[in-house]
Chains A and B, each alone.
Chain A
Amino acid sequence: MSRINSPAELESFRKEILSQRDPDKPCITLCSGSACLATGSGKVFAALEQEIEKQGITAEVSFRTTGCHGFCEQGPIVVIYPQGICYLKVQPEDIAEIISATIKEQKIVERLLYVDPNTGEKSSLEEDIPFYKHQQRLVLGANRKIDPKSLEDYLAVEGYQALAKTLFEMTPEQVVGEVKDAKLRGRGGAGFPSGVKWDFARNAPGDQKYVVVNCDEGDPGAYMDRSVMEGNPFAVLEGLMIGAYAIGANEGYVYVRQEYPLAVSNLAIAIEKAEKYGLLGKDILGSGFDFTVKVHRGAGAFICGEETSLLNSLEGKPGEPNARPPFPATKGLWGKPTNINNVETWANIPLVINKGADFFSAIGTENSKGTKIFSLVGKVNNTGLVEVPMGASLRDIIFKIGGGVPDGKQFKAVQTGGPSGGCLPENLLDTKVDFDELTKAGAMMGSGGMIVMDEDTCLVDIARYFLEFLSDESCGKCTPCREGIRQMLKILTNMTNGLGQEGDIELLQELAETTKGSSMCALGKTAPNPVLSTLKHFRHEYEAHINHQKCPALACKELIAFYIDPDKCKGCGACLRKCPADAITGEKKKIHVVDQGKCTRCKGCFEACPAAFDAVRILSGEPVPVAVPEEV
């Protein structure tokens, strides 16, 4: 097939592709997202290719590598269609059996199935695994159906249908109207209504305009944009083109974080293929609309996710923010009107156009429509990417999809919104995923990081952690952000080191208000949020650190001591052998003792002590009893 010159040619090409695909023919898919590649998906790929040939079934099965399925901790993931049989943690050694049993004899390989850690129940189908069952994968769903390097695969799942509709059946005003009516809000953090933003850029005077994809994804603990970009780059490009048409732009940029090489290379392949088929470049689909796109790699600076910094960086300057207004919509890249949206926002556009504003706005809550992808990570049984309709409760996400907190530990908090967000406690778990509700509760939707914390996580340390991150990443251009964050960090570091003082909390609050009120960009304006939200919901932890030099979570190294309980120690020597600091003394059958002066608090002894004895205790905020190395 060469260049596609009209919507009719597009449709006939699509028909041709579909006619060559038998939906009942077994199809083995292998996840090849970054996470699965890290767990050995490359080797599984080689084994699959080899085995398919060896067992002589090349003609009877198709085989496809796909983007991220989201259940990354369980990778590499193999799914066999049409049934949807899902095998997890697949290793090259498993392949021969998968082919001979499942493909040839329709038998399940039990040991590769998902086992619910809570009930012990197995699920053979992908859709029955609780992690997937409660999701609504409108954006991420295509990832497992397509090879991100195959334009044909994308066409097979209605790809470019929305673009054809846009270019031939809609005026730019109608496109903007549709996005407005869909009430789509930006997925990059602030939740600004996308249609309204498009209108600003559309109405801004100027012939030359730009559209930009923000794939800088700097929030630590989040990787949704990475998986969308790696797994379905065509959808992002299609969304971008629709936006460009609506706004009146003929050039686009994709700004990709330096840490995402696979996203860059899959995107480059997608661009090349789209150009070859005439789905990028001049006179797209014969519509007269021209569009080109360039990929720009970031260079490792969190602030470059902020739109004005990103544009400065695109121009080859240090990525420092500018004061807004003027907004990029009027004065953006090279001073021209520019519309910038997040990856997930762009990826939602084909859906909005294909299914219509009514379909889209029927999903979700009053003011938050559609779905949102979260990176559900931390102390939760099922970690990975989850896509839920707006309005789902945090509790359902963490407990139904995530399967709750591992190892029988208590849930303590969930952090959303990245470094600009906040931590919510148990009693706010019924909060709904909704831009406004989350903000009201003291957190933020943010770009989609959702980090679960259990009883072992110290919330003062978490606040310190975020401020350390922000202090590193503050560009330093404005004083309140640069100095305010640094001072708050100093106070928090003191607290976690047992040097907190009376009045620290009040001083923190004062600094937080100033930093919030007078910083130039949203990095500084939101930097105090991790402090304010933990102060609001976990003030007692701060007080324990300051007043009693105690870390209730037993996490702050300077505030804890390891102590061997003489009543429980059996003198087995396990801890002594493990200690890297030679801090434990004791002989066989004699009670072991920790030398507090030498102990580096690495926790090695705590983990080495056999569960049956459970003799090593972590103390905080109390004196360590003196122990005598007598006979047990």
Chain B
Amino acid sequence: MTETAEQVEETAVEEEIDLTAANKILDKYQDMHGALMPVLQAIQEEYGYIPEPTVFLVAERLNVYSSQIYGVLTFYAQFHLKPRGKYIIRVCMGTACHVKGAGRIGDTVKERLGIGHAETTEDLLFTAEYVACIGACGMAPVIMVNDATYGSITVQKTDEVIEKYKAIG
């Protein structure tokens, strides 16, 4: 469930990014064996996604090809090459949730927000992710909004949750 080539290309527009934080992260990890993933994870935590200029910075400072970095970035579902919404709605599509009707919950989110997997609403408020198991299977079906988990969710409760976050804005 990684981003497609087009999505990657779209981000290739010039970005104005302050690299101070990225440099600090690199200072911390530079000498570590296998630093690439922890560095990218830290950059994403800092910026919310992986801005293109940071890729070139990491390439230079860790002495790896940027193509290798893109290899890593596009392999793992966790990395994002575009800015994402303020609220990440993750709809669990794992087996327990699937059996308990996650399909309808997913449809509801799609309908209400008009976005599919890994897509973001235009106002940058919501990003939807349809994921396989968030490890709360005892409470299936489950959705998460950022760090908050909502278990035993129904279509109606999904609506309420979305409305709640829309209201906060």
Contact = CB atoms under 8 A, between A and B. Distances in A.
Contacts of B131: 259
Given A315-B34, A379-B100, A451-B99, A38 B139 contact: yes
Given A35-B151, A72-B138, A260-B135, A603 B104 contact: yes
A226 interface: yes
B114 interface: no
A38 B136 contact: yes
Most buried by B among A218, A384, A469, A473: A469
Interface residues of B, number: 42
B37 to A, nearest CB: 5
A2 B77 CA distance: 43
Contacts of A37: 149
A334 interface: yes
Q: Which of A221, A415, A451 has the most CB of B within 10 A?
A: A221
B138 A296 contact: no
A316 B34 contact: yes
Contacts, number: 146
B28 to A, nearest CB: 14
A449 B149 contact: no
Contacts of A602: 104, 107, 155
A218 B75 CA distance: 16
Contacts of B78: 258, 298-300
Contacts of A314: 34
B138 A221 contact: no
Interface string A73-86: 10000000000000
A320 B74 CA distance: 13
B34 A297 contact: no
A72 B133 contact: no
Interface string A523-541: 0000000000000000000
Contacts of A221: 94-96, 133, 137
B21 interface: no
A320 B68 CA distance: 13
A52 interface: no
Interface in A1-55: 34-35, 37-39
Contacts of B79: 299
B17 interface: no
Interface in A230-275: 257-261
A325 B131 CA distance: 33
A226 B96 contact: no
A223 interface: yes
Contacts of B33: 334
Given A300-B77, A375-B137, A316 B36 contact: yes
A378 B133 contact: no
A472 interface: yes
A72 B38 contact: no
B9 to A, nearest CB: 20
18 contacts: A37-B149, A73-B139, A219-B133, A220-B96, A221-B95, A223-B138, A297-B38, A316-B36, A375-B138, A377-B95, A377-B96, A377-B137, A378-B99, A383-B139, A415-B95, A465-B95, A465-B98, A602-B104
Given A39-B139, A297-B41, A457-B99, 12 more contacts: A35-B139, A72-B138, A217-B135, A218-B132, A220-B98, A259-B133, A297-B37, A299-B41, A301-B76, A317-B71, A383-B137, A469-B132
